[in-house]
């Protein structure tokens, strides 16, 4: 990449070529490239006046203001930092203090979170959606509206270097504060160059957006869409309940989501053969992709391909890909599609617990090396040093994912290292148990958690699945045909719907919290 690279530049180039083309559809309206570019350039002119950390927070999602804020931030030569609307007040305030932002861009939904505590930690410059000032007039003394921005248009994006930070994304984290993954321009430009080879988006594409802007898949959707002059179609919460109708109504050509959504659609009977003739490419990631789910989606989209991708946020969105073929490339012991082969820009290795490279066929930790690797974690050097290691003179990222390389050079995902638990003296991989649960229950909407955990050791396994007409005993009997007794869950819970986190994945922590709550209530009743 050249020294004048700016992540927003391809968008503005597309806007100058076809300003009247549609760029964005949400449940609040639709806009053209020219309209989005005009707002972004005016906001960029305002942000360019700021002088400080170079970081701008985006408190919003799935809105015209959020996307304009991202483009304006980049155009002004700054770093955008999406803030999760589902975080509690205390976490938002703490991160605002930690980030030392120059400005905060807020949409109508984000404005509801501007409590006294959050405002006390916020930067002096706050720009909010026009509608928010109508709903919250008290913000008028503290914030300016989009329409009231008084600034000269920034006609051309500010030049940025390869090592300059493009964005910081906060991962959910299992305990404590989330980690802020710092991604530089070189990482993003390398990712886009590798990914456009196989996505091949054009002005005719209509790309669905099902993810929150705090999820790095939006980097894929936004910037590949905009550089191609395509249109981005954002699903509302209501659309997420009926995605089949959304795809058909909008003639979506490119889809990306977590595999959980396939299971949800199969359960409701909305995933039928041939139902999505407009889809030419469907991408799944974030969770293991069961082969049965991949084939069901392929039957529903007969004119398109099904892609399984892999990549941690620390590796800038994606670093491996596997297309569904017949015969399929399957991870046999999991019943899932393989994660495939590495991008040309990456070296992938399987390491043992001492970071020695393992040969094909042996399982170990997946490690990544390449230009797409993040700079590290924001203001967390110790955490960065733990995951980003210099090994034999090269900088690697240890993913925490278990994997295996086969003799054909294809990688297989074998679960998380933190999903390995000790149970009655035996090491158990929860993903392996879940694979057998899915087969026994006849549903992809299934999960297994270790519970209760005492002194760091699991005392048992609990399974959760949606109702399929089978009772607990039958499911356990089916699992016992393939698993030793200690790996068969002692309890199978049935639910109408699986809890999902902000990224659409099954929320296993919510399942554990439910079990803890029930146990606490039972203990309280017994003590009465």
Give the tens place of pLDDT for each residue, 441-493: 999 899 999 888 765 567 889 999 998 889 999 999 999 888 878 889 999 99
Same fold, 9-161 and 188-415: yes
Task: Tell me phi and psi for residue 21, to 5 degrees.
Answer: -75, 145
Higher pLDDT, 222 or 131: 222
3-class DSSP state of 452: coil
Asked whether 244 and 297 are in contact (CB, 8 A), the reply is no
Mean pLDDT for 395-404 is 95
Give the alpha-carbon dihedral of 501, 209, 434, 497, to 10 degrees: 60
* Helices and strands, number each (H, E), in the chain: 17, 31
Amino acid 228: pLDDT: 98
Minimal CA–CA distance to 374: which of 322, 432, 311, 416? Answer: 311
pLDDT at 113 over 90: yes
Amino acid 458: pLDDT: 75
Give the architecture-level CATH label for domain 188-415: 3-Layer(aba) Sandwich (3.40)
Residue 452: is the preceding peptide bond cis (ω within 30°)? Answer: yes
CATH of domain 9-161: 3.40.50.980
Task: Tell me phi and psi for residue 187, to 5 degrees.
Answer: -60, -45
pLDDT at 254 over 70: yes
Amino acid 256: pLDDT: 96
User: Which residues have a Cβ under 8 Å from the Cβ of 109 and sit 6 or more positions away?
Assistant: 60, 61, 63, 85
Higher pLDDT, 11 or 287: 11
3-class DSSP state of 177: coil
Mean pLDDT for 248-261 is 94
* pLDDT tens per residue across span 335-370: 899 999 999 999 999 999 999 999 999 999 999 999
pLDDT at 204 over 90: yes
The chain-wide mean pLDDT, for the chain, equals: 92
How is the chain split into domains, by residue range? Answer: 9-161, 188-415, 424-527
Which of 293-302, 423-432, 499-508 is the least confident region? 423-432
* pLDDT tens per residue across span 31-55: 999 999 999 999 999 999 999 999 9
Give the architecture-level CATH label for domain 424-527: 2-Layer Sandwich (3.30)
Q: What is the DSSP letter of 175?
A: S
* pLDDT tens per residue across span 363-375: 999 999 999 999 9
């Amino acid at each position: 990449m050249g020294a004048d690279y700016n992540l927003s530049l391809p968008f503005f180039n597309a806007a100058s070529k076809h300003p009247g083309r549609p760029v964005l559809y949400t449940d609040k309206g639709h806009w053209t490239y020219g309209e989005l570019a005009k707002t972004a350039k005016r906001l960029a002119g305002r942000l360019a006046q700021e002088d400080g950390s170079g970081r701008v927070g985006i408190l919003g999602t799935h809105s015209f203001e959020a996307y304009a804020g991202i483009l304006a931030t980049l155009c002004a030569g700054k770093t955008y930092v999406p803030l999760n609307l589902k975080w509690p007040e205390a976490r938002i305030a703490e991160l605002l203090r930690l980030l030392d932002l120059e400005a905060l861009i807020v949409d109508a939904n984000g404005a509801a979170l501007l409590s006294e505590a959050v405002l006390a930690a916020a930067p002096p410059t706050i720009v909010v959606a026009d509608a928010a000032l109508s709903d919250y007039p008290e913000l008028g003394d503290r914030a300016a509206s989009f329409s009231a921005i008084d600034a000269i248009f920034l006609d051309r994006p500010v030049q940025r270097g390869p090592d300059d930070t493009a964005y910081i994304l906060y991962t959910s984290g299992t305990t404590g504060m989330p980690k802020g993954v710092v991604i530089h321009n070189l990482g993003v430009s390398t990712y886009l160059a590798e990914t456009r080879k196989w996505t091949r988006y054009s002005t005719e594409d209509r790309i669905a957006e099902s993810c929150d802007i705090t999820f790095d898949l939006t980097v894929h959707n936004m910037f590949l869409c905009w550089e191609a002059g395509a249109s981005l179609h954002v699903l509302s919460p209501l659309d997420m309940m009926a995605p089949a109708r959304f795809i058909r109504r909008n003639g979506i050509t490119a889809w990306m989501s977590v595999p959980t959504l396939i299971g949800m659609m199969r359960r409701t009977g909305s995933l039928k053969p041939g139902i999505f003739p407009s889809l030419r490419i469907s991408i799944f990631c974030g969770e293991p992709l069961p082969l049965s789910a991949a084939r069901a989606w392929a039957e529903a989209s007969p004119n398109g391909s099904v892609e399984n991708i892999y990549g941690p946020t620390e590796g800038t969105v994606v670093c491996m890909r596997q297309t569904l073929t017949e015969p399929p490339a399957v991870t046999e012991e999991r019943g899932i599609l393989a994660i495939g082969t590495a991008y040309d820009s990456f070296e992938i290795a399987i390491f043992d617990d001492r970071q020695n490279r393992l040969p094909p066929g042996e399982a170990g930790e997946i490690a990544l090396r390449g230009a797409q690797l993040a700079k590290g974690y924001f203001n967390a050097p110790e955490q960065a040093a733990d995951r980003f290691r210099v090994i034999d003179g090269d900088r690697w990222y240890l993913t925490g994912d278990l994997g295996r390389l086969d003799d054909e050079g294809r990688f297989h995902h074998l679960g998380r290292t933190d999903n390995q638990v000790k149970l009655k003296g035996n090491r158990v991989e929860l993903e392996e148990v879940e694979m057998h649960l899915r087969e026994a229950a006849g549903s992809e909407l299934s999960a297994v958690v270790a519970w209760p955990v005492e002194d760091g050791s699991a005392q048992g396994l609990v399974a959760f699945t949606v109702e399929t007409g089978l009772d607990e005993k039958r499911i356990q009997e089916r699992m016992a045909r393939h698993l030793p007794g200690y790996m068969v869950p002692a309890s199978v819970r049935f639910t109408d719907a699986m809890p999902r986190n902000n990224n659409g994945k099954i929320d296993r922590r919510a399942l554990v919290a439910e079990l803890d709550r029930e146990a606490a209530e039972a203990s309280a009743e017994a003590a009465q």
